[in-house]
Amino acid sequence: MKILVIGGTNFIGPPVVRHLCAMDHEVTVFHRGKSIAELPSDVHHILGESLRHTFGERTHLDKFKNKFEEISPQVVLDMFAYTEQDAQTLMKTFKGIAQRVVVISSMDVYRAYGVILGRESEVVLVPLTEDSPLRSSLYPFREMPNRPLDAPVDYEKILVERVVMSEPDLPGTIVRLPMVYGPGDIRHRLFPYLQRIDDNRPAIVLEESIAEWRGSYGYVENVAYAIALAVCHEQAKGRIYHVADAEVFSEAERITRVGKVAGWQGKVVSVSKDKLLTEWKLPVNAEQHWFVDSTRIRQELGYKEVVPPEEALQRTIDWERTHPPKEPEKLAEPWLLDYGTEDAILTKLV
């Protein structure tokens, strides 16, 4: 099968392309040519000079429509449709060319995410299914002073999904991703904790609601495999899928597992809010858990993890240690305490 991947040279993209090639599909990647990625030698490339990198200005795909008609992909995988306009351009460009589109979405479409941000009040039951309620308020990053990955103000996966799933002449498939970790993670999700582990901290102190909070994560290679299955299976037409690690851990359990693999002798300590400074304030609503049920993709497409949990953590830890972020202070989780405050709390607990 001929497959066109829009994006495909950063983080999740390369392992998706490798899985598709391993499944004997003919893959073309449309990208800027600015990122160095280890892709199979038989992958075809179409360069779009102003193709948006991560977030920013995205090339008008319709300018390349003649080229797309030449390669005639049966399925188009869009790794980074972030706005309603992105989705409209995607569908307009490939209507009459492709037989199906697969678009990557996010768990942030759910009302639960709005509750976490404090924009919606009623806590949503978990695990979330593909039919759980979506946010009632759009544009989750619009009011944030520091938008994740410099996302555009009109970032909205709800609108992307709505456009993609409403075109009868070009069926769509949506894959909603969890918090993805692994080699190449530009968000360095494990780094704030690993830094403390490698500094030989005796303990990592968490306020109890954070320690108990549970969210869905996914290792990049496993997530990529799930996406490849959604691209290849015809029965994925018109379907929405979750992909996430099978097991869901509390944040304290997750950090403990990271520490064990990293060889840490310390421990995670949970404390009540009254043990913290009076001015300390949690910036999110940790009463709302954020994990999903991934049964559908496992049953319908036969998905299962290709990299086991301990190996996934080890690979991630090894990469984080050899590729530390240039500005680690920007990645600090707001609920992590400075070492001085942490030491003072630990002393009182002895």
pLDDT at 36: 66
Measured from the Cβ of residue 329, the count of other Cβ atoms closer than 10 Å reads 6
Closest Cα partner for 78 from 107, 113, 96, 51?
Answer: 51
pLDDT at 56: 41
Rounded CA separation 228/223 (Å): 9
Measured from the Cβ of residue 339, the count of other Cβ atoms closer than 10 Å reads 11
Measured from the Cβ of residue 283, the count of other Cβ atoms closer than 10 Å reads 11
What CA–CA distances, in Å, run from 344 to 126, 271, 281, 334, 347? 36, 13, 18, 18, 5
pLDDT at 148: 73
pLDDT at 54: 42
| Strand bridging mode 203-207 / 179-181 | unpaired
Closest Cα partner for 173 from 77, 96, 107?
Answer: 77
What CA–CA distances, in Å, run from 302 to 185, 248, 348? 26, 20, 51
pLDDT at 144: 79
Rounded CA separation 47/34 (Å): 9
- Could you give the domains of the chain? 2-349 (3.40.50.720)
Rounded CA separation 350/337 (Å): 18
Running DSSP on this structure, what letter comes out for residue 244? -
Helix or strand holding residue 175 (H, E): strand 172-177
Is residue 3 a contact partner of residue 73, using CB atoms and an 8 Å limit? yes
Closest Cα partner for 43 from 55, 52, 31, 53?
Answer: 31
Closest Cα partner for 244 from 184, 300, 319, 295?
Answer: 295
What are the 10-residue block averages of pLDDT along the chain, 350 residues in total?
Answer: 92 96 96 75 81 50 90 96 94 96 98 95 96 95 76 92 97 98 95 96 96 98 98 97 97 98 97 84 93 98 98 98 90 88 89
pLDDT at 38: 82
